[in-house]
């Protein structure tokens, strides 16, 4: 007697290894765009709007760091995950401000 058991499906990230890294990269690009909008708003005198967009950019790049770390830990194209992680760290406005404060 034979049984017709379905094989277990792989998780979505195993079938699509670019999903985590692509999401992190999209968040990095969104963080850069949000930071640019924040700078423009603050330059035009809207300090509250500029601050809001700066915080949104910090949040987007922080989530990108977490997603890239998950991709690296789960070994889903970890080389691309490392590149996206470095990009997320380099574009985080908070870290950039701290680095510029240390330099001068």
Compute the distance between CA of residue 101 and CA of residue 37 in angstroms, rounded to an integer.
22
- Is residue 23 situated within a structural domain? yes
Secondary structure (DSSP) of 69-104: HHHHHTTSSHHHHHHHHHHHHHT-HHHHHHHHHHH-
pLDDT > 60? residue 1:
no
pLDDT of residue 17: 66
Domain holding 49, by residue range, is 17-103
- Is residue 70 situated within a structural domain? yes
Domain count across the chain: 1
pLDDT tens-digit profile of 49-103? 999 999 999 999 999 999 999 989 988 788 888 999 999 999 999 999 999 999 9
pLDDT of residue 74: 87
Query: Stretch 2-27: mean pLDDT, rounded?
Result: 75
The pTM (predicted TM-score) of the whole model is 0.80
């Amino acid at each position: 007697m034979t049984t017709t058991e379905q094989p277990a499906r792989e998780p979505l990230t195993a079938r699509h290894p670019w999903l985590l890294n692509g999401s992190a990269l999209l968040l990095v690009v969104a963080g850069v765009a949000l930071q640019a909008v924040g700078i423009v708003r603050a330059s035009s005198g809207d300090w509250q709007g500029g601050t809001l967009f700066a915080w949104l950019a910090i949040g987007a790049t922080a989530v990108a760091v977490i997603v890239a770390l998950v991709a690296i830990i789960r070994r889903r194209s970890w080389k691309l995950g490392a590149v996206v992680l470095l990009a997320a760290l380099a574009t985080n406005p908070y870290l950039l401000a701290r680095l510029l404060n240390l330099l001068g």
